[in-house]
Each structure stands twice: as C-alpha cells, then as structure tokens.
C-alpha cells in the first residue's frame, strides 16, 4: 500500500491513552480545519506510563488496528509513552501509513533556556525510554544544557479524574523542586499536561518564580501532520457541502469524554464506547 491508495476525504486518527491528546487535537483542528478527525481515548486502559513496554506496545497496536479499520489516512500518536514504547512497531506494521509521534520538546527547550537549566515533566516510562535519554545526552553534549528529569506519577490519573485539588497538589510537588534547582524552562513532556497549564502557571507564580517558559509541542505536531499530508497529496480541501467531521471513541465512559470535550474544547462531537480489542 502507498499513500496514493488513501482518499483525501478519509479521516485522520488521533490516539492517546486518555484525555491528553485533546491538547494536540485543538492544534490540529486549528491548522487543518477541513480534515475529518477520529479521536481515540483509551481511558479504560490508562495510564500507560506505569505499564511494561511490551504491554503498551500490544495495546497501542490494537488501537491502531481499530483506526485502520475505520479507514484513516494518517495517525497521530498523541501520547508520549505510546510513542516511546510502540511507534517503531506501528511503522513496521503499517509502513505506508503516515504516522506522527510525539516526544518531549527537549530541542526547543534547549533553544529557549537562558540559564541552561531545563526541567522535564513526564511519565516514568517516557523518562526511562532510550530515545529520550539518547536525545538528552546529544543535546547536552552539543549545547551544555542541563536537563532535570522529573517523573510525575499519579498526575495523569488526577487529570483524567478531573480532580483539581489533586492536580494542584501534585503539580506543586513536582514543579517546586525544579524551580529550586534554578530551571527557567519547563518541558510539558506528556500531552495531558498542557490541559492543566493554567494550574502549572499558578504554582510557578505562587513560588515567586518569573519568566518560566513552558514548552508544549502540540503546535509542532500539527505542522508535521500537515507536511506529511501535503507530501502524500492527502490534504482535504474545503468542501462547503461537506464540512469536516469529528467523532470520538473511548474504552471508558462516553459521558466522561463528552464532558471533557465540552469543558476543555467547547465542542460536543459524537462519542462512542468500544474496547479496541482485548486488553
């Protein structure tokens, strides 16, 4: 199969372990407003961050097969942990399908920092991945940037649960030590974290810190998707009689995902519950 076999009218699939991919979805909708989109939230299997890599790989492939069965022309893996653990497997199984992954923004953070000290907030699985550690070492050698890696166990669970107090408590626990170490740039290394950016900014302000740069790679992911679609002649052009569609699937509660769409993005797409195969 090659990209020419995909229809320009086919949807783009966006996959995350839960709600985090909504932070990427909003950038994609802004940059590619004419594309049909399918959003997948595997919230029933979340969080991915604490699971063994082979389990994440098997589960990710099950979700990708589901999206392929829906006829997608491209996939965005809007989950740092799934990207680290499984994107190589996805590309091996679907070599002609454009697949965009995400990774923490270490490069833009190194370019943005003034002090040379950068904090990286992410899941334990993401921070232990060979790809990230290799990239860190390369950038440190080239630029002298010091990266402080801060795992954030439990933060994704609190974001998924909509527990504002729990989110604030955990953000304070994980961000404050980085501020004490003199970081002036924070990488939001999980797509869930931009959804609570306001809380992170409040914690930073309460700590008396100023001019802390937050790095969210959602915009860059959307640009990369646009480049791949354009290169494959797969961009969908405006069709006044057929506006772009968005629908969503979740392995947990459709009501909860609908509420998240409404609260976080101000939209109300159809949401369906499914299993994505065996867990």
Token pair recorded at residue 159:
């974001």
68 touches 97 (CB < 8 A) = yes
- CA angle 9–11–17, rounded 5-degree value: 175
Cα dihedral: 132, 135, 136, 140 (round 10): 180
Q: What is the DSSP letter of 237?
A: P
110 touches 118 (CB < 8 A) = yes
Helices 218-231 and 22-31 cross at an angle (nearest 10°) of 50
Burial class (CB in 10 A: 0-12, 13-18, 19+), 49: buried
Q: Would you please indicate which residues are annotated as catalytic (active-site) residues?
A: 79, 190
- Helix, strand, coil percentages, rounded to 5, for the chain: 50, 15, 35
Cα 256 to Cα 262: distance, rounded to the nearest angstrom: 10
276 touches 62 (CB < 8 A) = yes
Q: What is the DSSP letter of 44?
A: G
Cα 205 to Cα 212: distance, rounded to the nearest angstrom: 9
* φ/ψ (deg, to 5) at 169: -60, -45
- CA angle 64–68–70, rounded 5-degree value: 120
């Amino acid at each position: 199969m090659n990209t020419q076999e995909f229809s320009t009218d086919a949807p783009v699939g966006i996959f995350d372990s839960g709600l985090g991919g909504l932070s990427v979805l909003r950038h994609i909708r802004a940059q590619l407003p004419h594309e049909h989109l399918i959003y997948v939230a595997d919230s029933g299997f979340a969080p991915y961050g604490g699971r063994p890599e082979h389990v994440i790989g098997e589960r990710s492939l099950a979700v990708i097969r589901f999206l392929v069965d829906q006829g997608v022309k491209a996939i965005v893996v809007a989950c740092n942990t799934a990207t680290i653990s499984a994107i190589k497997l996805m590309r091996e199984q679907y070599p002609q399908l454009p697949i965009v992954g995400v990774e923490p923004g270490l490069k833009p953070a190194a370019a943005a920092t003034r002090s040379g000290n950068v904090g990286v907030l992410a899941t334990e699985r993401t921070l232990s991945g060979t790809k990230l550690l290799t990239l860190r070492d390369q950038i440190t050698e080239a630029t002298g940037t010091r990266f402080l890696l801060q795992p954030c166990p439990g933060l994704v669970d609190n974001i998924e649960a909509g527990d504002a107090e729990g989110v604030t408590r955990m953000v304070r626990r994980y961000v404050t030590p980085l501020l004490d170490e003199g970081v002036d740039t924070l990488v939001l290394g999980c797509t869930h974290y931009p959804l609570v950016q306001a809380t992170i900014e409040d914690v930073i302000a309460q700590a008396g810190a100023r001019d802390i740069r937050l790095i969210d790679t959602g915009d860059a992911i959307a640009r990369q998707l646009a480049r791949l679609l354009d290169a494959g002649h797969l961009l969908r052009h405006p069709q006044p009689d057929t506006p772009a569609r968005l629908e969503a699937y979740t392995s947990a509660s459709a009501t909860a995902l609908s509420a998240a769409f409404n609260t976080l993005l101000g939209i109300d797409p159809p949401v369906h519950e499914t299993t994505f195969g065996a867990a």
